[in-house]
Chain A
């Protein structure tokens, strides 16, 4: 290349640079986060496809479908419902599809006028033991169909059909999975009974007792695949004639349980590592509560924490990527939340505020921890970023006697949109959910059982 051509090339490059620099001379403004609002959704009762049934159980199915969908979409925190009194057309007298194009179709204009953003049109039919549901969701301002599906299943799966529709709607809108087919596990104490482990749908339905220890069963935890539950029971060790806090694993599919850790003292607070090959738990076999990593069959054991100064290290919570552990420790005097690498290295204290912080739980994105903090003589649920910033109180409720209620044992939903916890605000410990911003608190259980340590399952569908 000659000197002349190099010179020309340089001039060209400089010129191009100048032109591009000039063309980029704009004023940029970052707007920041806008106002978040709920969308107005119209959810009329489901129509019956065919002749209106006289069979009460068939009518009940329609009502159950409606109730479950309404509750799911209400808890989602995405929608405000249009009051039926505001409807400009009778949904029972028009079809599921819009007019024109469908004889007797509904008119978008009637829904647009009252500000509806989403319209659900659904119908069901029952044939023998089978239920069929046809459901459509429309975005009214654009008159576009967001979702259109047919669901079929046995009459016993009505709730599952409804939850599946709710999941599909969330997926269609957000592109992310809904959590409406997940479950929870908790330790429950009925009046005059024993503390046993129960599994139920996330909304408290389909409760199922999975232990019959007839003594105490506590601290349940889901495996990361959602097929097993680890819990601590207090069986009688016949040789020593003492009850010991041993760790069991319950296989949900087979209903079988396995004793996996029975060292002298406490074998509790189990948390599965991703892949479910290992469990981290608290053992006191060396005299002090410390964290150990154990194979899921209990055969191999590795000590992770050792004090310092005989401090307790309990309640391990494994980060979603399996690289870190959050736990509570009183090594600084009062119990606080600490985070360390999975091998026990690089221990960092996360919470400094408050007198007693416990029960850490990771958000599914691994960026936030929820925990229970003791303040003003009661526990509340807090969240804190994993870098120690943005400490927030999510709960603040009082009991019927006017005293502050305890809100404990937080656990995140697998979609990261909700936090479940137990609270005695009604007088007895019941299960509640709250949004991570502290809004939309809802009671999940309505019974006379005292619930402790709920844990939200991973996605199960």
Chain B
């Protein structure tokens, strides 16, 4: 009886020893992934925003073009007249050369202008059995056109004033606007009225007051003069 008890105790102790040795070696040789407690901490103390400055109401109407001061034109400086006695024939020759070079420059400039006009006209007038260059909106052109339409949008929005009492009425209008090559609005037609006279009038006033709009890029002139742009007020 005593023998069997002591044998069982030895087996039990040996078994426990094996388990302890296994745990020890597994902890040393196969380290487990450490638990990163920092991941469980969430910092959520964030400052509240400051009050925005008072919303500005409609800006005053921009000064009409005619009222604005004309752009400052630098006056041509008169050639300095030397009082010093000099060789007159030399100075005369120099003056003649200068006049000649100025004339040549003027000639080049006028030639360049003529070519530019010719190219511009070619892009807008498409008649007869000719292939239209089209209005592909890719690459640099796309960037140019996007910039132009952004300019249009900014210009119209700047001039669009709606009364406060209509601000949250959820009214919408759609207007087709034809634009000539200088940017002037030549026609505006409601494709969809808001049903409110004051709102519709504010939309028309925004278009009228924005004209002339920025002059369209050469290759858009035809399209803007015939199909125009459709403005969604507000979206």
Interface residues of A (CB under 8 A from B): 25-39, 76-78, 117, 139, 141-142, 170, 173-175, 332, 334, 352-355, 373, 375, 380, 382, 391-396, 437-439
Min Cβ gap B74→A in Å is 37
A396 to B229 CA separation, bound complex (whole angstroms) = 44
A333 to B57 CA separation, bound complex (whole angstroms) = 42
The answer on a CB contact under 8 Å between A439 and B54 is: yes
B62 within 8 A of A: no
Closest-by-CB residue of B relative to A77 is B164
Q: Which of B10-18, B39-47, B121-129 contacts A (4 or more CB under 8 A)?
A: B39-47
Contacts of B232 in A (CB 8 A): 28-31
Min Cβ gap A54→B in Å is 39
B153 within 8 A of A: yes
Q: Which of B1-9, B20-28, B85-93, B155-163 contacts A (4 or more CB under 8 A)?
A: B155-163
The answer on a CB contact under 8 Å between A175 and B52 is: no
The answer on a CB contact under 8 Å between A38 and B164 is: yes
Give the 5 A-B CB pairs with smallest separation, nearest first.
A34-B160, A37-B58, A30-B235, A396-B51, A353-B46
Closest-by-CB residue of B relative to A393 is B51
The answer on a CB contact under 8 Å between A352 and B49 is: no
Closest-by-CB residue of A relative to B56 is A35
The answer on a CB contact under 8 Å between A29 and B166 is: no
B95 within 8 A of A: no
Residue of B52, B206, B227 with highest tally of chain A CB at under 10 A:
B52
B190 within 8 A of A: no
The answer on a CB contact under 8 Å between A174 and B165 is: yes
Contacts of A39 in B (CB 8 A): 163-165
The answer on a CB contact under 8 Å between B160 and A393 is: no
Min Cβ gap B167→A in Å is 5
A173 to B230 CA separation, bound complex (whole angstroms) = 28
Closest-by-CB residue of B relative to A365 is B168
A34 to B46 CA separation, bound complex (whole angstroms) = 33
Closest-by-CB residue of A relative to B57 is A37
A139 to B73 CA separation, bound complex (whole angstroms) = 47
Contacts of B111 in A (CB 8 A): none
A29 to B191 CA separation, bound complex (whole angstroms) = 13
Closest-by-CB residue of A relative to B52 is A438
The answer on a CB contact under 8 Å between B54 and A26 is: no
Excluding A26-B229, A391-B48, A396-B51, 15 further A-B contacts by CB distance (< 8 Å) are A25-B227, A27-B224, A27-B230, A28-B231, A30-B153, A33-B157, A34-B161, A34-B202, A37-B57, A37-B58, A37-B164, A78-B165, A175-B169, A353-B47, A382-B49
Interface string of B72-101 (1 = CB under 8 A from A): 000000000000000000000000000000
> Out of A25, A32, A354, A396, which one reaches B47, CB within 8 Å?
A354
B185 within 8 A of A: no
Contacts of A27 in B (CB 8 A): 149, 223-224, 227-230
Contacts of B223 in A (CB 8 A): 27
B233 within 8 A of A: yes
Name 17 interchain pairs, CB-CB below 8 A, sorted by A: A26-B227, A28-B230, A30-B235, A34-B234, A36-B164, A37-B57, A37-B58, A39-B163, A39-B164, A77-B164, A174-B165, A353-B48, A382-B48, A393-B48, A395-B51, A438-B52, A438-B55
How many interface residues does B have (CB within 8 Å)?
Answer: 46
Contacts of B225 in A (CB 8 A): none
Min Cβ gap A353→B in Å is 4
Contacts of A437 in B (CB 8 A): 55
> Out of B161, B164, B227, B228, which one reaches A78, CB within 8 Å?
B164
A117 to B228 CA separation, bound complex (whole angstroms) = 33
A375 to B229 CA separation, bound complex (whole angstroms) = 48
Min Cβ gap B231→A in Å is 5
The answer on a CB contact under 8 Å between B48 and A375 is: yes
The answer on a CB contact under 8 Å between A36 and B162 is: yes
Closest-by-CB residue of B relative to A352 is B44
Say yes or no: A31-B54 contact (C-beta < 8 A), given A39-B165, A382-B48.
no
A76 to B164 CA separation, bound complex (whole angstroms) = 10
Closest-by-CB residue of B relative to A33 is B234
> Out of A28, A38, A353, which one reaches B163, CB within 8 Å?
A38
A355 to B156 CA separation, bound complex (whole angstroms) = 43
A355 to B228 CA separation, bound complex (whole angstroms) = 54
Contacts of A439 in B (CB 8 A): 54-55
Residue of B54, B160, B164, B202 with highest tally of chain A CB at under 10 A:
B164
Closest-by-CB residue of A relative to B173 is A31
The answer on a CB contact under 8 Å between B59 and A35 is: yes
Contacts of A396 in B (CB 8 A): 50-51
Contacts of A139 in B (CB 8 A): 198
The answer on a CB contact under 8 Å between A36 and B160 is: no
Contacts of B55 in A (CB 8 A): 36, 437-439
B197 within 8 A of A: yes
The answer on a CB contact under 8 Å between B153 and A31 is: yes
Contacts of B202 in A (CB 8 A): 34
Contacts of B228 in A (CB 8 A): 26-27
The answer on a CB contact under 8 Å between A78 and B46 is: no
Say yes or no: A392-B49 contact (C-beta < 8 A), given A29-B229, A142-B197.
yes
> Out of A141, A174, A393, which one reaches B49, CB within 8 Å?
A393
The answer on a CB contact under 8 Å between A31 and B235 is: yes
Min Cβ gap B168→A in Å is 8
The answer on a CB contact under 8 Å between B230 and A32 is: no
Min Cβ gap B229→A in Å is 5
Closest-by-CB residue of B relative to A172 is B165
Say yes or no: A31-B162 contact (C-beta < 8 A), given A142-B197, A439-B55.
no
Min Cβ gap B93→A in Å is 59
Contacts of B45 in A (CB 8 A): 334, 354-355
A30 to B160 CA separation, bound complex (whole angstroms) = 13
A188 to B44 CA separation, bound complex (whole angstroms) = 36
Which residues of B in the span 120-150 have a Cβ within 8 Å of any Cβ on A? Answer: 149
Say yes or no: A31-B48 contact (C-beta < 8 A), given A38-B57, A174-B165.
no
Contacts of A30 in B (CB 8 A): 153, 232, 234-235
Say yes or no: A35-B160 contact (C-beta < 8 A), given A28-B230, A174-B169, A394-B51.
yes
Closest-by-CB residue of B relative to A142 is B197
> Out of B46, B157, B164, B235, which one reaches A354, CB within 8 Å?
B46
The answer on a CB contact under 8 Å between B51 and A391 is: no
Contacts of B47 in A (CB 8 A): 353-354, 375
